[in-house]
């Protein structure tokens, strides 16, 4: 059974561990994504209502977060946008569709 729900405070350490497992040595030696997620939660642009975990059979196996951002076009016009990430899934559940 798969469930998508908002992340709870008790999920924080679990999500950070999943981030570490998902990104460790993937692009660079070690990883920093878990540290980024830790700090994102306290940022003014973080949107808690758009912070989700993916559960399978009651176990958290993934996460996605959204933050507010701004985009400035070539004319200097500023637009508010949303960005997401990092996105993580435990390695043993990756590439399963």
**Nearest residue to 46 via CA among 86, 73, 10:** 86
Question: What's the number of domains the chain is made of?
Answer: 1
Range of the domain at 87: 2-92
Q: Kindly state whether residue 11 falls inside one of the protein's structural domains.
A: yes
Q: Kindly state whether residue 97 falls inside one of the protein's structural domains.
A: no
Q: Kindly state whether residue 34 falls inside one of the protein's structural domains.
A: yes
Q: Kindly state whether residue 20 falls inside one of the protein's structural domains.
A: yes
pLDDT value of residue 95: 86
Which CATH number covers residue 72?
A: 3.40.630.30
Rounded to 10 degrees, the C-alpha dihedral 65/41/6/70 comes to -40
- Give this prediction's pTM: 0.84
**pLDDT per position as a tens digit, 58-73:** 999 999 999 999 999 9
């Amino acid at each position: 059974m798969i469930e998508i729900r908002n992340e709870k405070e008790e999920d924080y350490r679990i999500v950070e561990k999943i981030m570490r497992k998902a990104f460790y040595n993937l692009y660079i030696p070690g990883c920093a994504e878990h540290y980024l997620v830790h700090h994102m939660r306290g940022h003014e642009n973080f949107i808690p209502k758009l912070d989700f975990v993916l559960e399978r059979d009651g176990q958290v196996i993934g996460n996605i977060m959204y933050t507010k951002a701004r985009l400035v076009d070539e004319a200097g016009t500023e637009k508010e946008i949303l960005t997401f990430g990092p996105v993580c899934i435990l390695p043993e559940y990756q590439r399963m569709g």
